[in-house]
Amino acid sequence: MTIFNIFSFSLFIFVFLNGACQKKEDKMPEKLTFSHSIPAYGNSWVLENASKNRDVIKEQGITNWSEKDVKIRTYFRVEQTGDLHVGIVARAQHGTSELKISCNEEEKQLVMNNSAFDTIPAGIFSVSEPGYHWVEFEGIQKSGQTFADIEAVLIGGQATSGEVYFVKDDFYWGRRGPSVHLGFQVPENTGDVKWFYSEIEVPEGEDVIGSYYMANGFGQGYFGIQVNSETERRVLFSVWSPFQTDNPAEIPEEDRIVLLKKGDGVYTGEFGNEGSGGQSFLRYNWKAGTTYQFLLKGEPTGNGSTDFTAWFFAPEESGWKLIASFRRPKTDTWLKGLYSFLENFITHTGDQSRMAWYSNQWVCNTAGNWTELTRIKFTADATARKDSRLDYAGGVQDDRFFLKNCGFFSDKTIIDTFFERKSNGISPEIDFDKLP
């Protein structure tokens, strides 16, 4: 080999190796950069045994985390793909803790021994598609009583170059998740609506604790079914007082909801916190996968009050059950503002998806004529509208309306969209005179 060839070959090797090393260095940034700080409290949930370990998530963030088998996830949504830089603002109060941090099937481990809160880089992960993602924490070993206190999860990198969504305030509502609604469009020529009929089926596996599947809502109240605990379910009917307050004790006597009658086994009382008024519920073990029927009556008394009465059809018992009848003072109206909704009312289940089918809605006017309601407007609450949570959906499938929320799914429905289902044309057969 000539001297020229040897020199050329050596130069090629130098350029090749230098280029390869440079390319490798481009993939390894000198340090992680963070553009968003996600509050742990408003965006984190215990993955399993949430009711048992609910004290792990508090206003201070992730704390009192002592059990090794507890997994915790912090959720966020991005609209771009690429590298995701992850870190935490955290401390190990006593001794040393070793954590496993996961994101999109990638895992990193870090060791903490700082007793004061500090920024701790966790690593770089990959985001291959936009939508909701999570960072999961799991304890490996510790020398102290707890694994770590985590105030915030830090993210940055190419995946955060677009819009990034997470709960920034109103953490109670953010943890409950977005509520979604069907606003029924009643034809103008319907007349005065005296009766409102509808049906709900909750699919198996979608009956999540904390869910309220509200069937027959109206301008002064609401009526539907709930999952209150692992052992209790309810049929709930409530009417708001015309006096605006969240404390029922503040309602003047002349503005109080009056109980006219109630069904067997039905509890009645007052409610507060989201308006106040009269409440009734029947503890009833309704089943997922079964269709239940709801009937509501609204009728003015002629002296400035209106009576609202709710019945629930239990197919297991083959008959209508009276829930309650309330008189609302300072009210002179037939049924208006008809709607259905789906909400979660327990914060520690706000990370679990739930849905239901809402179908066969009809109204009957004062002349006894039925009208089918086949058109709705899909809406959502303030948590959804201000982009705190984007895990909400609704519309029409298989000739039935549906609502879905929570669970951090990525496909959402545009708020204020109208949907129409196919008419079935068969009105309910109800003998109003024989209702209990």
Cβ 259 vs Cβ 268: under 8 Å:
yes
Whether pLDDT at 11 is above 70: no
Give 132's contacts (C-beta < 8 A, 6+ positions apart). 75, 76, 77, 390, 391, 408, 409, 410
Find out whether 47 and 135 touch, Cβ atoms under 8 Å.
no
- Residue 45's alpha-carbon distances to 53, 103, 215, 254, 359, in angstroms, are 10, 15, 29, 44, 33
Confidence of residue 55 (pLDDT cuts 50, 70, 90): confident
What are the residues facing 379 on neighbouring strands?
181
Give the integer Cα–Cα distance in Å for 263 and 326. 12
Tokens of residue 349, six digits: 């289940």
Residues 6+ apart with CB under 8 A from 267: 280, 281, 282, 283
Q: pLDDT digits over 357-369, tens only?
A: 999 999 999 999 9
> What value does the mean pLDDT of the chain take?
91
**b/e sequence 202-227, b meaning 16+ C-beta within 10 Å:** beeebbbbbbbbbbbbbebbbbbbbb
User: Is 13 a residue whose pLDDT tops 50?
Assistant: no
State the Cα–Cα distance between residues 358 and 378, nearest whole angstrom.
12
Report which of 249, 201, 197, 242 is spatially closest to residue 223, judged by C-alpha positions.
197
Question: How does residue 61 score in pLDDT terms, banded at 50, 70 and 90?
Answer: very high
Spatial distance between the Cα atoms of 80 and 313, rounded to a whole number of angstroms: 48
In the predicted model, is pLDDT for residue 245 greater than 50? yes
Query: CB-based contacts of 277: which residues, under 8 Å, 6+ apart?
Result: 221, 238, 239, 240, 241, 248, 251, 257, 270, 271, 328
Q: What is the pLDDT of residue 5?
A: 41
Where do the structural domains in the chain lie, given as residue ranges? 36-166, 175-434
User: What are phi and psi for residue 243, nearest 5 degrees?
Assistant: -85, 125
CB 291 within 8 A of CB 200: yes
CA-wise closest residue to 38 among 152, 161, 170, 125: 152
Q: How do residues 228-244 score in pLDDT, each as one tens digit?
A: 999 999 999 999 999 98
DSSP state at residue 218: B
HSE-up of 413 (CA within 13 Å, CB side)?
25
Distance CA 328, CA 262 (A): 15
How many helices (DSSP H) and strands (DSSP E) are in the chain? 4, 30
Q: b/e for 303-338, b at 16 or more Cβ within 10 A?
A: eeebbbbbbbbbeeeeebbbbbbbbbbebebbbeeb
CA-CA distance, 47 to 175, in Å (whole number)?
14
Fill in the DSSP letter of residue 68. T
Per cent of the chain over pLDDT 90 is 85
Look at residue 247 in the predicted model and tell me its pLDDT: 85
Task: Check residue 48 and give its pLDDT.
Answer: 76
CB-CB contact of 86 with 124 (8 Å): yes
| pLDDT for 430 beyond 90 | yes
Which of the two residues, 1 and 377, has the higher pLDDT score?
Answer: 377
The answer to whether residue 328 scores a pLDDT higher than 70 is yes
Does residue 263 carry a pLDDT above 60? yes
β-strand pairing of 180-184 with 106-112:
unpaired
> Which range is most confident: 21-25, 55-59, 415-419?
415-419
Model confidence band, residue 69 (pLDDT cutoffs 50, 70, 90): confident
User: Given pLDDT bands bounded at 50, 70 and 90, which one contains residue 206?
Assistant: very high
Q: Tell me which residue has tokens 């706000």.
A: 350
The answer, yes or no, to whether residue 379 has pLDDT greater than 50, is yes
Structure tokens at 355: 């849905």
Residue 92 has pLDDT above 50, yes or no: yes
Question: Which is nearest to 164 in space by CA: 105, 82, 101, 108?
Answer: 82
Each residue of 384-395: pLDDT tens digit?
A: 999 999 999 999
Query: What's 36-166's CATH class?
Result: mainly beta
Q: What is the pTM of this model?
A: 0.90
40, with CB counted inside 10 A (0-12, 13-18, 19+), is buried
Q: Please, which pLDDT band fits residue 276 given cuts at 50, 70 and 90?
A: confident
What are the φ/ψ torsions at residue 346 (nearest 5 degrees)? -125, 120
Q: In angstroms, how far apart are the furthest CA atoms of the chain? A: 114
What percent of the chain lies above the pLDDT cut of 70? 91
What was the pLDDT predicted at 30?
Answer: 53
Amino acid present at 386 = K
